[in-house]
Structure 1
Amino acid sequence: MLTQPYYFYAERTDRTKNMARFYALSIEPTLFGTPCLTRTWGRIGARGQSKIHVFAREEEAVSLFLELLRQKSSRGYRPKGHSR
């Protein structure tokens, strides 16, 4: 069972390169209660692509969540307000 919700949404835009991308991360329980990290990315306004990682323990999911958050922040993605 997850101790708290995890959600991150960021965007990276650059008009000179015609770049408008988003990246979203969330950790939620599966139907069986195991933690699941879902990554979604793509062009802003499009549905994008998704990848799901299932873990045995919440700590493993949080570790990958934080690593991906660091990577995307270093590449220029900035958090934006986004309603789920």
Structure 2
Amino acid sequence: MALYTYQLYCQHIDTARNMARYYLLSIQPTLFGEVVVTRAWGRIGKRGGEKSEMFPTEREAAKHFLELARRKRAKGYRPVGSCGNGGIRRPSNDGGT
């Protein structure tokens, strides 16, 4: 059973190149005690691709999740919102606290 919920939704938008892409990562437990890293990608507003990979432990799945997230960040993808992850908040632009 997964101890933590891992979800990440990122976008890469470049209007000059007519690029509007999304990338979604999540970790979920299976009924058989394994852990699945699921990723989905494509153009924003369109159906894209999806891939799931199974891992025997949450630790291995988390390492893979973080490596995928690192690669996407290097390609210009940026997180959007908290995607349901508790405790993560975006800073406000109003200068208040």
In percent, how many aligned pairs have the same letter?
Answer: 50
Please name the residue that 1:26 is paired with.
26
Paired residues for 1:28-43 under 5 Å: 28-43=28-43
Q: TM (normalized to structure 2)?
A: 0.81
Give SS of 1:66's match. helix
Question: Aligned residue pairs: how many?
Answer: 84
Please name the residue that 1:13 is paired with.
13
For structure 2, the 5+ residue unaligned runs are 85-97
RMSD, aligned CA = 1.4
Q: TM (normalized to structure 1)?
A: 0.93
Give SS of 1:54's match. strand
In our comparison, the structure showing a higher alpha carbon Rg is: 2
Please name the residue that 1:58 is paired with.
58
